[in-house]
Each structure stands twice: as structure tokens, then as C-alpha cells.
Structure 1
Amino acid sequence: MDSSTNQPDLSKTLASIVDKRGKRNVFRRHPFLWGGGLLIVAVLAAMSWYSRGTQYSYTEKPLTKGMLSITVSATGTVQPTEQVDVSSELSGTVRTVLVDYNSFVARGDVLATLDIDTINTNIESSKSKLLASRARVVQSQATLAAKRNAFERMTALQDSRVSSVRELDVAKSEYDSAVAALDVANAEVAVSEAELQVNETSLRKSKIISPIDGVVLSRSVDPGATVAAAFQAPVLFKLAGNLKRMELQVNVDEADVGLVKPEQDATFNVDAYPDRTFPAKIVNIRFQPETVSNVVTYKAMLAVDNEDLALRPGMTATAYINVKEVKDALLVPNAALRFTPPNEPAKAEAATPADQTPATPDAVKKEAGALRNVWVLRGGKPEKLELRTGATDGRNTIVLSGEIKAGDQVIVAASTPPK
């Protein structure tokens, strides 16, 4: 029955009820009640007609056979495989700076020099002290020889009873003093030599040398600047090793770290090249946890080839680590698992776009081995089928069992035609 025949019948029924209850006088005194009642009747009739007359069109997709890759996503930064902070062990004034940002350097290259006037003065002073010490050694040796001869003569005379015991004691004391004086002179030579070596070492350290082959990432010193290394050695340069081999350091969630293993392949993207995907390989997963806001992660290191130097240190990256691959699997679109016909109760699942990024293993654990429903068109009407599903990558899910095969169409969406 359509809406045009419903309205008179319902109106007559309403009027007859009112007549039976003897309420005609109420409607006569309040005519607006007639209008309100008729409006309610019209709305109910329209809803009844719309529910019977709404038609839906369905979008279908086929089940496919193929490989399913499960990935773990993690974020991190691109870093050099080798990075060194170059400092100065000496305090002084910077005389020259020979490199700048992005300068390529080799091991042993001079990066900067300090003022050496004071060091040269100290070296000359040390050399003079060393010469004087050596001269005192020669003098002490001569004195010792004379005192030895005098002592030996006194000993011979004492044996002949020509000299007195007192004279022998004096000769012995002078000889012992000469021996001690020679020892002191030799010690002074050693001190002077050590002082000279210290000053010569300072002269060598006045040249800031590159310890590695690489590139200058940062320079924090200019000619004329004062370097104070008394308490803590200041960082003058940051050097990175070979930038053609980089390292991606990502933070893997504790829920996913059990799936990540060395030698697994991965891909990653950086904001600088949104249309480019870079390959990488897991090298190591550190045992040391990192906790930020009660979230525990573990650092994973990935080797990255950077032959074209497109990647720069510090770039933020999102990595997808391939932790599992299933070949020749029967795959159902995830949109079909989320679909519910309009007249059916909605599933208690969060709707996710069909082209979402690969799922994390949390989703894999949630859906693995679960009983799920899909809908197929039979006789123009949706019919429910129950499937047992396996792992998912966020776009497709493995079908473990069910009355369905590759090529069968499943409903992924419903829509009403435009009026």
C-alpha cells in the first residue's frame, strides 16, 4: 500500500476513535490538533513508503591468490655509520681554520691551528735548560773524578801511616758529595728532556688533525676565537665517515620487537623524497630499552646504501620491516570483512580505509585464526558467509577456510542511487 491510500484511512480511524470517545467538542474548540495529527500521519506514511522503496547498489571485489607480506612499522632517523667530535686538548687562541661545512677530509688532514708563539718560547726555554743540565753533568763528572783521585791518595797514605784518619774522612766525604752531585745533574737532564718533550707535544697538538676520512658536518670555531680546555675539551668540529653507507636507527615497539630479526629486509621513506622508497636491511636490535612517556621501545639498526648521497644525516624516516611472507595465499579484501548490509546491525569494528598502510603485528595477532563474516550477492540479495581468517597486512587478509574460492565476488560497499 502506498502513502496516498494510507493517509485517508488513518484519518478516518482517528476521527472514529474520537467520535467513540465523545471528544468532537475538543477538536472543534482546538482545530490545531487536527493539523498536528495529520502531520504525524503523513510522516509515518512517508517513512513506511521509503523503507519499502529504497534500493541499494553493491560494489564487489574478487578474492585473489597471491603473496601476503606482514610488516612492522617504526620511525627513526638516518645517521652516519661513523661520527666523531674533534676537540682541542690545549687552551689558546685559534690562528687558522682550514675547513668549512661539507668539506671532505682525509685522516691526518689539518683542520685548524692554534697560536704557537708561547709554545715556541717554552720549547726554546726547555732546550736551554737541557743544555745547562748537560753542562752540569760534565762538570759534576770532572769534580767526581778529582774527588775520587784525592780519596784514593788519602787511602794510600793512610795505609803508609802518612795521613791522618781525619784527612781520610774528609776526602771520603768530598768523594761521596761528588757522586751525589753527579746524580743530581743527571736527574736535571732527565727533567729538562721531559719538559722539552711536553712542549714539543703541545706544538704538535696545536694542529687540530682529522682522525678519520669523511666530511665536516659542523664547525663551531673561527680564527681569533679562544679555546679553553682546562675543564672540558670543547668540540670544534663534527665529522662524519663515509656518507655513501648510512645507518637508519628506528625505535621498535616492545610489542613488535619479538618479530624483528637481523638480516630482515625493510623499506623506508623520508619527507624529502615522498615518491621514493629506499631499501634497507636489519643489522642489529639493541637489548637496551628506551622509555619515553611509559612507552618502551628498542633501537634497531638498519644498513642503508646511499651512493647518490640523497640521504642526509638526521633525516626523519618511517620504516616498514618485512617480518613474514605467505606465498600463494587466498586473500580477501579487508573492506569485505568490515562490510555490513544497511539493514543489518553494524559490526563493532572501527572502519578503516581499504588502502591503508600495512598493519602492525598487533592487527595480525587480533585477526589471526578468527571467525569473520563476508557477504555475497545471491539472487540479488546479500547473503552472509563465515570464514576463518589468518594474518593481514591491513589491505588483505588470508582465508584459512570457508565456502569460498579465488575469483568469487564479495561485497565491499553499498550505496543508494541518486534520486
Structure 2
Amino acid sequence: MIGLASPMPGNCAGWACRSLGFSSATPAAKLSQREECIAMKRAILILIAVLALAGAGFVYTRFRAAQQSQSALASFETAPLETGSLTTTISATGKVRASQSATLYWQTSGTVEKVAVQVGDQVKAGDVLATLAQASLPQNVILAQADLASAQQALADLATQAEISKAAAMQAIVTYEQAVKDAQYQLDLFTVPSNQANMGEVEALNVMKERLDQARAAFEPVKFRPSTDALRQERKEALDVAQADYNAAVKRLQYVYDLEVAQANLDKAWQDYNKWKDGPLQADVAAAQAKVTAIESTLRQAWIEAPFAGTITQVAPQVGDQVSPNNLAFRLDDLSTLYLDLQVSEVDINLIKPGQEALITFDALRQRSYHGQVSQVAMVASESTGVVTYLVTVVLSDPDPAVRPGMTAEVDIAVAQKSGILLIPNQALRVEDGAQVVYVIKPGQGMLPVNVTLGISSDTHSELVAGDLQEGDQIVLNPSQVNLNQRPRLLFGGPPGGGEGEPGGEGTFNERTPSGGQP
């Protein structure tokens, strides 16, 4: 720059000469020098004014740009990256049902004589809910009363007959055990002739019979001879021996036969005892019981009883009503345990397991939520209009009288849970170039895109598995407002430098094009 001395009023020439280093000159020359001095002074003043205006404009431009960038950042909603717990749920809609339900109908015609319950009553299995007047019943029902007594007596007689048969069998056992002993004793006392010792009882009898026939045939020609005849005596002795041997064979066989008969009778007595020792035959009992049951079934048409314990939820008959078969009488529900049947998509079904916890909200009970647990997951799918779903049953863990069968509920089943993880709000996520991206605002760096890898997720947050983020980082919640081509820029440089230094540096946002480079 040109160094200027302080101007002195009324002495421009001297000031100019001193300033410009001019020596004394002629008056004309001095006048010329004076004019040149004034012109130079004007030029310098103009230059100073221009430089001042340029500096002010530069500072204003930078200040304005910084204000605009800060205003642009202020338009983004942010939230800090936090550590917490996350639950992944699968949602489905279903209806409440009781663990057991039954709609009861009249089985015969007649006049209602008594109605013993009303809606809301608790009943036990077998309780009579309503009856028909005896005189109004059909003839087959009335006759069944007499048949029942006969059938029940026949069933009771089976037990009596079984006791009698068992006692007879026991007496027979005693008798035939003694018969076996006696027969065995007689057989043991019998002495088998030596000529039959190697033969069985039947063989010995046949052989002895043949020998006896031969002896008789030999004796026949001489039997009329005198008793003193030697040949007659010889053959008579042979006949007597053959007869004795035959008699011995017959007696031996008789003893064996008596023993076998006695043993067979004893075995039969034991069979009879074993047959009756446990009471009447099951087949006989089943047949008699079936007859009793059939008659009782006919008689039960005269009344309606509860098939299981539960709550009366509908009452149709009134005293004096004329009813016919298949007329509605009552509805009974077991409300002690309530279930919800859900249809879950085939995409989600493998994530659901029995025992998983569920959060339940009812359309009719928005003021509170309920807890449940998956009790059953169907193995076979059902298909409707091309959509494949599986039945999932959830049991209500905290039943409430306000929850009624048929109510519609929204059920959220917890299929995954983690704690102590970094959580990214789902509204902060953006997909760029096929990758998940969030935008983070960092001091001194501006707004930066960060690629992230996610784990489990819920309706509101996702687990951060990988990504250059730390707890406390400010995440942009409305990334849809980020314009990739016109992203705000911040100037972080200082004011213009003094002396011979350069102006302060300029900081900008890191920007990404769709391909990931710098614009």
C-alpha cells in the first residue's frame, strides 16, 4: 500500500511534495504538481472506499451464508442416539373364544315345566338347566322309565350270577382235586404185569385182547372134553392166564382214564373260577350297560343338563313354552380360560413359538391392555383367496369379566428381545444406493450420511449392529427433507485475516451423490 502523510490544510503543494518526495519548482510546475496531487488524493480515497465496500460485502455474504446454513439445519428434527431395550413383535388380529362352548338344543317335544338358570349363572357338569312336564312327553320317553328299571336289574343280576358261578367253581375245584388224588392213588397201587411192562395202556389192552381171543379159539375145540383131559386142562389154564392179563390191561387203562377225567374236570373248574373271580363278563356288562345307557338317553330328552362346568351365556326357554326337537335352549361357555385365534402369515409363522409373550388390546376396551401367551401353533396351513395363513392360539393370562367371547383384539407377539443396544428411530432411516443410511449432525462437521447395518426392529426403532455412530450422536429424524443436490452448506472460516495473511478457510457438509462420490 502507499503510505500517506497527514494532509495539511492550505498547503497542498507542500503536503504533496512531502508525500511524493517532489522538490521545489517554478509556479507553473507547482500548479501542475498541485493538480496531480489532488487527482491522486481523489484516486486514493476512491480506492479506499471501494476496498471498504468490498470488505463489508464479503463479511455480510459470509454472515448471511452462515445464517442460512444454520437456519437450514434448524429445520431438521433430531434426536440423540440412545442405548435401550428393543422388542420385535408380530401383529395379528383375532377374536376371543372360550376354552369350551356348547349350544344346547331340545331333543324331544313337550311343555317347559321348569327353567333353573339365567344368564350369568355358574353351573357344574350334570346340573339340570330345564325340564319338560311329564305329561307332555312322547310315549317312548314315558315307557323308557319302566324299561330302565328292568335294564338296571339285569345289569345288577350279572354281578349276582357271577358270584354264584364263582362259588360253584370253587366247590368243583375241591371235588375234583380229591378225585385226582383218588385216581392217582389207585393207579399207583396197580401192579402192571411183567408181560405189559414195556407197553402203553392202550397197546397192552390190544395185545392182551388178541391173546385172549387166541386162547379162546384154542380152548373152543376141547372145552367139552372131560375135565380130566390133559389137553383140555392145558388150554383151559392158557385161557385163564390170557383172561387175567386182559383184565389187568383193562383195569390199568381204567385207572389212567379215571385220572385223566378227574384232571380234566379239575382244569375246567379252575377255568370257571378264573372266569368269574373278577365279577361278570365284560362283554355281558357292556351289553347290559349299553341297554341302560340307551334308555337313559331317551329319558334325558325330558330335561337339559350342563355337559361341563361353565357360565350360562344364553337362555331361550321360558316356563310354559311348547318346544320341539332342535329348538334352541341354552348356550354354555367355560370362561375360566379365554383364547384368541389368530391367522398369521406364512412369512412370519416360523418366528412364533409356544410360550412367547403377547400384548393384547381390544377394540371395545381401549383403556387398558392385557397379557397373553402363545399356547399352540398350527402345523398345517389354511388358504383363502390365495393367501396362506397358519392358526396361532394365544391364551389370555389375565382374564377380565369385561373381556367376552367374540370380541376383536389386536395381538402383538414378542418374537425377539434385546437390551443394552443402540437404538435408531425408524423415521431416521433412508435407503440410498440400496444401503440403509442415517444422517447425523456433528459439531464442526455439519450433517453427514452414515451407512448402517441393522438387527432386530420394532414399529419405532431398529437395532444398530454396525455403523460409524456413537451414543449421543444427533440423528436427523426427517431425512426425507434432505435434498441430495441442494444440501445446506456451513461456513466455518474466521474473519478476513490481517496483514499479508489469506482470508479464513471455508467448511462444508460432506455430500454424497447417488453413486457415493462428491458433487
Range into which the TM-score falls when normalised by the shorter chain: 0.5 to 0.7
Q: CA deviation at 1:63?
A: 1.0
What TM-score do you get using the length of structure 1 for normalisation? Answer: 0.57
Q: Say if 1:75 and 1:317, in contact at 8 Å, map to a contact too.
A: yes
Structure 1 counterpart of 2:316, from 188, 212, 220: 220
Q: CA deviation at 1:306?
A: 4.3
CA shift in 2, pair 1:307/1:59, >3 Å? closer
Structure 2 counterpart of 1:106, from 124, 138, 142: 124
Q: CA deviation at 1:383?
A: 2.0
Q: Say if 2:340 and 2:395, in contact at 8 Å, map to a contact too.
A: yes
CA shift in 2, pair 1:197/1:215, >3 Å? closer
Q: CA deviation at 1:244?
A: 3.3
CA shift in 2, pair 1:390/1:53, >3 Å? same
Q: CA deviation at 1:120?
A: 8.6
Letter in 1 for 2:329: L
Structure 2 counterpart of 1:283, from 367, 372, 375: 375
Q: CA deviation at 1:282?
A: 0.4
Distance 1:269 1:298 in 2: 21
Letter in 1 for 2:368: R
Structure 2 counterpart of 1:257, from 346, 349, 364: 349
Structure 1 counterpart of 2:405, from 313, 318, 329: 313
Q: Say if 2:316 and 2:330, in contact at 8 Å, map to a contact too.
A: yes
Query: What 5-or-longer segments of structure 1 have no aligned partner?
Result: 1-48, 132-193, 339-346, 350-366
1:258 is paired with a residue of what secondary structure? Answer: helix
CA shift in 2, pair 1:287/1:219, >3 Å? farther
Q: CA deviation at 1:121?
A: 6.7
Identity of aligned residues (%): 29
Structure 1 counterpart of 2:333, from 240, 250, 266: 240
Q: Say if 2:338 and 2:399, in contact at 8 Å, map to a contact too.
A: no
Distance 2:414 2:451 in 1: 29
Measured against aligned partners, the alpha-carbon deviations of 1:272-315 in whole angstroms (never above 9, x if no partner) come to 32131101000001234333333222221111134542311111
Q: Larger helix proportion, structure 1 or 2?
A: 2
Q: Say if 1:377 and 1:411, in contact at 8 Å, map to a contact too.
A: no
Q: Say if 1:291 and 1:297, in contact at 8 Å, map to a contact too.
A: yes
* Count, aligned residues: 273
Give the corresponding residue for 2:305.
Answer: 209
Distance 2:354 2:101 in 1: 23
CA shift in 2, pair 1:385/1:305, >3 Å? closer
Query: What 5-or-longer segments of structure 2 have no aligned partner?
Result: 1-63, 151-289, 482-519
- Aligned pairs for 1:62-211 within 5 A: 62-119=80-137, 123=142, 202-211=298-307
Distance 2:109 2:427 in 1: 68
Question: Is residue 336 of structure 2 the alignment partner of residue 271 of structure 1?
Answer: no
Q: Say if 2:429 and 2:436, in contact at 8 Å, map to a contact too.
A: no
Q: Say if 1:244 and 1:306, in contact at 8 Å, map to a contact too.
A: no
- Higher alpha-carbon deviation: 266-275 or 90-99: 90-99
Structure 2 counterpart of 1:300, from 368, 392, 395: 392
Give the corresponding residue for 1:375.
Answer: 440
Structure 1 counterpart of 2:425, from 333, 336, 351: 333
2:367 is paired with a residue of what secondary structure? Answer: coil
Distance 1:264 1:197 in 2: 45
Distance 2:311 2:391 in 1: 26
Distance 1:404 1:219 in 2: 65
Measured against aligned partners, the alpha-carbon deviations of 1:375-412 in whole angstroms (never above 9, x if no partner) come to 32443732222222222212111112121111111122
CA shift in 2, pair 1:118/1:197, >3 Å? farther
Letter in 2 for 1:113: T
CA shift in 2, pair 1:406/1:380, >3 Å? closer
Measured against aligned partners, the alpha-carbon deviations of 1:34-80 in whole angstroms (never above 9, x if no partner) come to xxxxxxxxxxxxxxx99x96832133211111221110001001111
- Could you say what the CA RMSD is over the residues aligned between the two structures, in angstroms? 3.6
Distance 2:291 2:454 in 1: 80
What TM-score do you get using the length of structure 2 for normalisation? Answer: 0.47
CA shift in 2, pair 1:90/1:290, >3 Å? same
Q: Larger strand proportion, structure 1 or 2?
A: 1
2:428 is paired with a residue of what secondary structure? Answer: helix
Structure 2 counterpart of 1:323, from 409, 412, 415: 415
Letter in 2 for 1:291: E
Measured against aligned partners, the alpha-carbon deviations of 1:3-38 in whole angstroms (never above 9, x if no partner) come to xxxxxxxxxxxxxxxxxxxxxxxxxxxxxxxxxxxx
Letter in 2 for 1:252: V
Measured against aligned partners, the alpha-carbon deviations of 1:72-102 in whole angstroms (never above 9, x if no partner) come to 0010011111112222322333333222222
Give the corresponding residue for 1:409.
Answer: 474
Distance 1:286 1:334 in 2: 32
Measured against aligned partners, the alpha-carbon deviations of 1:198-243 in whole angstroms (never above 9, x if no partner) come to 77754443021112111111123333434332xxx444211011x2
CA shift in 2, pair 1:254/1:216, >3 Å? same
Distance 2:292 2:358 in 1: 57
2:429 is paired with a residue of what secondary structure? Answer: helix
Structure number, greater radius of gyration:
2
